Structure 1
Amino acid sequence: MASIARRPDGTYRPRYRDATGKEHARHFKRKVDAQRWLDEVTASIVTGQYVDPAAGKITFRSFFDDWSQRQVWAAGTVTHMNLVARSVTFADVPLKAVRGSHVEAWVKAMHTDGLAPLTIANRFTAVRTIFRAAVRDRRITSDPTADVSRPPKKPSSREQHIEVPTLEDVSKLLAVTDPRMRAYVGVCAFGGLRLGEASAVRVDAIDFLKRTLRVERQVQYKPGFGAEVKDPKHGSKREVFIADELAEMLARHIAEHGTSAEGWLFYNGAGRPLPPSTVDSWWQRTVKAAGVAGLHIHGLRHFYASGLIAAGCDVVTVQRALGHARPSLTLDVYSHLWPTAEDRTRKASAAMLRDVLARSADSLRTEVVS
């Protein structure tokens, strides 16, 4: 039901009722403007595009808090989305009042703060997902990010930088680290495991005869629950072809330090896998002692990848060794790749490990002589 009434003051008052029976009205000086508004509303109702004007009064923050509770997300996605929602500069702005300029200012602020292009692009995508959900939920008529250019994921050639430790750096790390964590450095630097994957290595995942290491799980921090063991990120389950020297390092670790009752190689006093906080504390002490403070443990994974690439491994080989879901992800991080096979992957890792061990032995002999 819709109508237009002329008021005593000469203005026109169009009104209509929505599907719930709620009445809506506005005032215009000209009847033609009142009729245009009423026609637009009627058309949106007929086409199923109608949005209650009051629905968009909810703030971005409030909508996200409500909407996110209904989503089925992995723990990592929950953490990421909550971080993104807290980072926007328009969290307390009503949804219907958010403009493309708000989004552009937020993107510019992240760039000014020095965030990596990939981080900015991922956060932008997350916010676009939230606004599109608001459109589907009939909270707003359009997505304010639609007219904003998506930030590039890749930095320019001048900005792009991958933190890759040198052979000397890895040699120093092996020399100064806690003996119980030497094999931890090994599986990261010569097996390409992520921190959480290395923490979740069990003895039954190692095939010493075939010289393989199965990556089947990871340790991840879950807010409010602490560390938990779960499946690795999508596409990351894999079998790593390890060098003879790494297999020997792991065997020596088991012989000298044992495993937990459940078979974990790296565990705490309770027999559980090392939580990320414990690993981070150990790592900070280790890089400081090695004189490479500031090096992130993920740099060991880059060290492994760069060694494979330098030895001529093709993109698919490196992708599988690192547990990337798609070759494109590998190419996003690493550039020049050449054809290879499994034996060359193992050979490349062996060559790196032998060189590092030789440097470590030379360093120890020099210290003894002096």
Structure 2
Amino acid sequence: MASIKQRPDGVWRARYRDAAGKEHSRHFKRKVDGQRWLDEVTASVITGRYVDPKAGKIAFSVWYEHWMTRQVWAAGTHESASMILRSIPFAEKHLNQIMFSDVQLWIKEMSSGAKPLSPKTVRNRYNFARMAFQAAIKDKLIAEDPTDDVKLPRVRRVEASMAIPTPEQVGEFLGEAPLFFRAYVAVCAFAGLRLGEASGLQLSDIDFLRKTITVSRQVQGQTKAKTEVVSPKNGSERVVYVAEPLINILAYHVKEVGVWGDEQWLFGTGGHLWHRMMAGYHWRALREKVGADEFTLHDLRHFYASGLIATGCDVVTVQRALGHALPSITLNTYSHLWPTAEDKTRAAANEMMTTALESSADSLRTIALG
């Protein structure tokens, strides 16, 4: 129900009742302005976009924390989301006061401030904020999302940003790695395990006879105090079929370095299950010794994937070996490594010509085959 009436002082009072029976009103100097406001409210009710004007009077920080508590996330994701809130300059503004320009300025400050963040990090922070605004819309706290159409920094194409060491460089890493660290580097390079998965390996996960590694847990946490053992990412539980040389390296590690704890963990430093130590201090020392500072320990996983693709493995095979939840994730990450239609055509033609020329005259064969 809506109405508009003129008061004795000449001001027009427009009012309406929402679905809950609560009355809302505003005052206008002109009747046409009041009627326009009522028309907009009526349209929002009909289209399902109606929002109580007072509903969004909650600070973004309060809403964000409330929204986080409802998410079914791993502990590491909760921690990352909490850290992102500290970087949001409009955190104390009410939801219904935050504008597109506030969000765009935030993106600009992160991208070109005194300490600019990488485009990937900027997008990650933006995505968390956007999810919170989208949830506020679904809960009818705000009508529009201020993150819509925000311009984000360009992320380098995967093929341009991915660093993949050569087999010779991986050989150098293994040759120069300290004995306690060598097997860890090997499972990253020749089984494609994520760092947390490698850190979570126990002796019972290695089947030395069947030459398999079972991935059933991972180590997670930003600091030693927050480190915990959790299940792998969704869809990442798997059995990896590995080469005999890797099994030999693991057997040597067990013999010479040993395992520790009742669970018989394969890797640890000073009694701590902390994968950040592996990816940080120990890896930096190793790559500096080898002279390959451009590579991260995670790049060994890319090395493994590239090797599978180079030997003709299809998308599903690579997906299962890497523990990706969907084949699309594998394709989005490594599609540039698969041979193109042009490559396949050229290879097929080369094979046909080689076979045909083997029976041709010596002079023609010498010219064609060099």
Q: Could you tell me the TM-score, scaled by structure 2's length?
A: 0.79
The CA deviation string for residues 165-190 of structure 1, in whole angstroms up to 9 with x for no partner, is: 22332222222222111101110111
Q: Deviations over 1:122-163 (max 9, x none)?
A: 4444333211211122211122334557888x7447x72211
> 1:65-91 deviations in whole A, cap 9, x for unaligned?
222223332223313433444444543
In the alignment, the residues of structure 1 paired with residue 266 and residue 255 of structure 2 have an alpha-carbon distance, to the nearest angstrom, of 11
**Cα deviation code 1:323-366 (max 9, x no counterpart):** 1111211121212336xxxxxxxxxxxxxxxxxxxxxxxxxxxx
CA RMSD of aligned residues (A): 3.0
1:14 aligns with 2:14: yes
Q: Is the 8 A contact 1:313 1:337 kept in 2?
A: no
Contact 1:266 1:274 survives alignment (8 Å): no
Question: Structure 1 residue 252: deviation in Å?
Answer: 0.7
Of stretches 207-216 and 58-67 in structure 1, the one that deviates more from structure 2 is 58-67
Corresponding residue of 1:60: 60
Structure 2 residue 263 is matched with structure 1 residue 262:
yes
CA pair 315-36 structure 1, distance change in 2 beyond 3 A: same
Residue in 1 that maps onto 2:174: 174
What letter corresponds to residue 61 of structure 2 in structure 1?
R
Structure 2 distance, partners of 1:326, 1:43, is 41
Aligned partners of 1:263 and 1:171: how far apart in 2?
28
- Which residue does the alignment assign to 1:131? 133
Check whether the contact 1:197–1:217 (CA below 8 A) recurs between aligned residues. Answer: yes
Contact kept? 2:111, 2:153, Cα under 8 Å: no
- Rounded to whole Å, the distance in 2 between the matches of 1:107 and 1:327 is 31
- 2-structure distance, mates of 1:108, 1:318: 38
Q: Give 3-state SS (helix, strand or coil) of 1:4's partner.
A: strand
Given the alignment, which residue of 140, 143, 159 partners 1:141? 143
The aligned counterpart of 2:338 is 337
Classify 1:91/1:268 alpha carbon distance in 2 versus 1 (closer, same or farther; 3 Å): same
Kept in 1, the 8 Å contact 2:107–2:152? The answer is no
> In structure 2, do the counterparts of structure 1 residues 295 and 147 end up closer, same or farther at CA, with 3 Å as the change threshold?
closer
| Conservation of the 8 A alpha-carbon contact between 1:319 and 1:326 | yes
- The letter of the residue matching 1:139 is L
Q: How does 1:184-203 map to 2 (within 5 A)?
A: 184-203=184-203
CA distance in 2, matches of 1:71, 1:243: 40
What are the Cα deviations for residues 311-332 of structure 1, in whole angstroms up to 9, with x where unaligned? 2222222111111111211121
Give the AA of the match of 2:288.
K
* Letter of the 1:323 counterpart: G
Aligned residues between the structures? 336
Task: Quote the residue 1:350 is aligned against.
Answer: none
Q: Secondary structure at the match of 1:55?
A: coil
- Once structures 1 and 2 are overlaid, which stretch shifts more, 294-303 or 34-43? 34-43
Deviation at 1:29, TM superposition (A): 1.6
Aligned to 1:316: 316
Distance (whole Å) between structure 2 residues aligned to residue 256 and residue 305 of structure 1: 29
The separation in 2 between residues aligned to 1:288 and 1:281, in whole angstroms, is 11
Alignment of 1:244-283 (within 5 A): 244-260=244-260, 261-270=262-271, 273-277=273-277, 279-283=279-283
Per the TM alignment, residue 217 of structure 1 is displaced from its structure 2 partner at its CA by: 0.8
The superposition leaves residues 182-220 of structure 1 with CA deviations (integer Å, 9 ceiling, x where unpaired) of: 101110111111111111111111111111111111100
Deviation at 1:108, TM superposition (A): 4.9
Using a 3 Å threshold, how does the CA distance of structure 1 residues 266 and 223 change in structure 2: closer, same or farther?
A: closer
Q: Hey, what's the Cα distance between the residues in 1 that align with 2:162 and 2:43?
A: 54
TM-score after normalising by structure 1? 0.79
Matched, 1:292 2:288: no
Alpha-carbon shift at residue 23 of structure 1 (Å): 4.7
Q: CA deviation at 1:222?
A: 6.1
Moved more, 196-205 or 315-324: 315-324
Gaps of 5+ in 2: 340-370
The answer (yes or no) to whether the contact 1:6–1:13 under 8 Å persists in 2 is yes
User: Per-residue displacement from partner, 1:236-276 (whole Å, max 9, x unpaired)?
Assistant: 11111111111111111111112113211112444x53442
Report the residue type matching 2:248 in the other structure.
E
Aligned to 1:236: 236
Displacement of 1:303: 1.4
* Number of the residue aligned with 1:351: none
Q: How has the CA–CA distance of structure 1 residues 110 and 332 changed in structure 2, closer, same or farther, with 3 Å as cutoff?
A: farther
Q: Any idea what SS the aligned residue of 1:143 has? A: coil
Change (3 A) 1:93 1:262: same
**Separation of aligned partners in 2, 1:150 and 1:33:** 37
